[in-house]
A and B are shown apart, each in its own frame.
Chain A
Amino acid sequence: MDKEYVGFAALPNQLHRKSIKKGFDFTLMVAGESGLGKSTLINSLFLTNLYEDRQLPEASARLTQTLTIERRGVEIEEGGIKVKLTLVDTPGFGDSVDCSDCWLPVVRFIEEQFEQYLRDESGLNRKNIQDSRVHCCLYFISPFGRGLRPLDVAFLRAVHEKVNIIPVIGKADALMPRETQALKQKIRDQLKEEEINIYQFPDCDSDEDEDFKRQDAEMKESIPFAVVGSCEVVRDKGTRPVRGRRYSWGTVEVENPHHCDFLNLRRMLVQTHLQDLKEVTHDLLYEGYRARCLQSLARPGARDRASRSKLSRRSTTEIPLPMLPLAETEKLIREKDEELRRMQEMLEKMQAQVQQSQAQGEQSAAL
């Protein structure tokens, strides 16, 4: 055997095999006014019809509609890899005459997922934590406006520190190329002006070839992505069948980079940055939430309660519990106490049994 070869270069393969076995979770939120082609785009991205059973309400029904959060799950398998995709929809957003604070349910939802994760992470059974945190939010901007509308700005400011935002211009076939460029620039300027942090696609490695780097730079320049979605295949005589939208004046091809940025979005979102989105959610956004929570717990009253708690698995930190409303925290402490006590009892019982069987064994050995 080669003395210099240890063999841990095989580690990535092991990780790879393990993650294939474990499967892959991803939660994608889609937000924006109704009628911007969100559902069509999602169907196009994942080549499934996720919105088959959807009932679109009429205008009069929407007069009194409040924003709801809907979750749809789908398992997609490709090349032996299973992806459990959860789609979070926000029907009703931006529809009413008065949309004040209509983004609050969305913010609350995102934070609830963080809260759940924090609780699970601090809990006893950590083997099968379900990660329901929102990893990415595709925010749809109208192509008909002149940039971000007041509602867009309000929503983005409310969520930009809590979720990865990828801004997208929906129904981009409403725009001529020059208009698309102008709108993208306007949106980029507005995002900077309003200090909204969108998801930053990481720089590619310096050892990549020039071609790849150029492609990468081009992709980054095209944010916000101007997309067109379609699940219909246009079969015209004399041309090859393409996925697109057929008009009297021509056919928009969804997968043609000269027509729209669909390919770019699909490549960056699904093919190359799925894992990075999850990591940023965990390392940056979730940690930020956790730090804020725990910091606010580090107040005099809270510290007393925390020290009374019998749970001290983390000897390094003095505050093991996440920030929950007071009654809930108390309840949780009591529950954990109960659990601990029960486990201790069980342990004692087992020890007694072992001692008994040992004693019996000695007896029988002596006999």
Chain B
Amino acid sequence: MSKGLPETRTDAAMSELVPEPRPKPAVPMKPVSINTNLLGYIGIDTIIEQMRKKTMKTGFDFNIMVVGQSGLGKSTLVNTLFKSQVSRKASSWNREEKIPKTVEIKAIGHVIEEGGVKMKLTVIDTPGFGDQINNENCWEPIEKYINEQYEKFLKEEVNIARKKRIPDTRVHCCLYFISPTGHSLRPLDLEFMKHLSKVVNIIPVIAKADTMTLEEKSEFKQRVRKELEVHGIEFYPQKEFDEDLEDKTENDKIRQESMPFAVVGSDKEYQVNGKRVLGRKTPWGIIEVENLHHCEFALLRDFVIRTHLQDLKEVTHNIHYETYRAKRLNDNGGLPPGEGLLGSVLPPVPATPCPTAE
């Protein structure tokens, strides 16, 4: 197929390291084979360009939640991921804030821009998780928050006069921080992931990984993967949502070898070999955050931001949100929830599996 138009590529820094991620349709279409012997150039391949332009204009939302015991470097890591002070961490290391008695949910929004693309990033912190003597059910406030966002979206969706673009506060990604004990997962880790992996995309990370040698790291990762498998906990990217073989091979490699990512975060720069790098300086050496020989921060960053950002949003919308919606409609006897709706959008049906709306 000859191309008459020069290809315009934006120098979006986000797509530097990997080829353009294929924009995936919201509803996967069945591939229809057509006669590819076109007589001339039509120009439908410019749709990609048009979509990109639209995205740049409207920008997009991304909501990331961090969960883990206090002191595991959650805020530092998020700041490092997005290269800006997007988390509520104070500038000094020694934070004076007291550990809250119950789990709190704190959401902070920022707008960051790169290469003409605007992202409204919301970081949701969960201070107090796992810090008490009795941590029974400390995941409940978190589950409640996530479901509340689904509920908000659902209410907007079933409105008669809908907003052009529904504000999306749903949690697209939950980074769960595992303490680098070197032994195995803690009972609390298992409990949290068991409950929450069904409602949100969980990406487990091993925090403060600069305390493990290479052998200890790989042994620990193997044990963690095995434990998660034994308990049927599916972390993102979930096996059942791989769309095609290409996805599957790519994700299999990540699932079975790289994850959980062993990360180190830092907001301080040091001089190494003439370059300024983010790192941690100890008497026995400098740990470079973006050096793949030192830790897997770069892998996590590429995974979350550069290759799977859109997929995280889609799985949240198509799978987790739909599951929630189906459950809500079922509970309501097929009727949409909410008060003050004059004449429901959907026809009332008996309590059977929910009708495919839209």
Contact = CB atoms under 8 A, between A and B. Distances in A.
B208 A59 contact: no
A259 to B, nearest CB: 6
B185 interface: yes
Interface residues of A, number: 46
Contacts of B230: 60
Interface in A241-293: 245-253, 256, 258-259
A237 interface: no
A99 B95 contact: no
Contacts, number: 123
Contacts of A259: 283-284
B213 A144 contact: no
Contacts of A247: 210, 213-214, 284-285, 287
Contacts of A248: 214, 293-294
Contacts of A178: 93
A365 to B, nearest CB: 83
A95 B180 CA distance: 14
Nearest to B284: A250
A119 to B, nearest CB: 34
B42 to A, nearest CB: 53
Interface in B185-199: 185-191
B280 A176 contact: yes
A174 B281 CA distance: 11
Contacts of B214: 247-248
Given A97-B188, A144-B72, A35 B182 contact: yes
B352 interface: no
Interface in B228-263: 230-231
Interface stretch (B18-26, B104-112, B128-136): B128-136
B208 A34 contact: no
A179 B133 contact: no
A253 B223 CA distance: 28
B181 interface: yes
A150 B280 CA distance: 28
A222 interface: no
B184 interface: yes
Nearest to B226: A58
Interface residues of B, number: 49
A93 to B, nearest CB: 12
Nearest to A149: B131
A146 B132 contact: no
Nearest to B190: A59
B99 interface: yes
Given A60-B227, A60-B231, A98 B70 contact: no
B211 interface: yes
A182 B95 CA distance: 10
A151 B188 CA distance: 15
Nearest to A40: B182
A97 B285 contact: no
Interface in B130-171: 131-136
A269 B152 CA distance: 60
Contacts of A149: 99, 131
B210 A174 contact: yes
Contacts of B231: 60
B93 A182 contact: yes
Nearest to A100: B134
A186 B94 contact: yes
B213 A245 contact: yes
A99 B99 CA distance: 17
Interface string A100-122: 10000000000000000000000
Interface in A55-76: 56, 58-60, 62-63
A59 B227 contact: yes
Contacts of A251: 284-285
Nearest to B132: A150
A144 B132 CA distance: 15
B131 A150 contact: yes
Contacts of A173: 210-211, 282, 284
A251 B276 CA distance: 22
B184 A59 contact: yes
A329 B259 CA distance: 61
Nearest to B181: A35
Interface of A: 33-36, 56, 58-60, 62-63, 95-100, 142-146, 149-151, 154, 171, 173-174, 176-179, 182, 186, 245-253, 256, 258-259
A-B CB proximity, top 8 nearest:
A35-B181, A250-B285, A249-B285, A250-B284, A174-B211, A59-B185, A145-B71, A63-B187
Given A97-B188, A146-B71, 9 more contacts: A34-B181, A35-B181, A62-B186, A63-B191, A143-B211, A149-B99, A176-B281, A176-B282, A182-B94
20 contacts: A33-B181, A34-B181, A35-B181, A59-B184, A59-B190, A63-B191, A96-B187, A98-B135, A98-B136, A100-B133, A146-B70, A150-B131, A173-B282, A182-B93, A246-B213, A249-B284, A249-B285, A249-B287, A249-B294, A250-B282
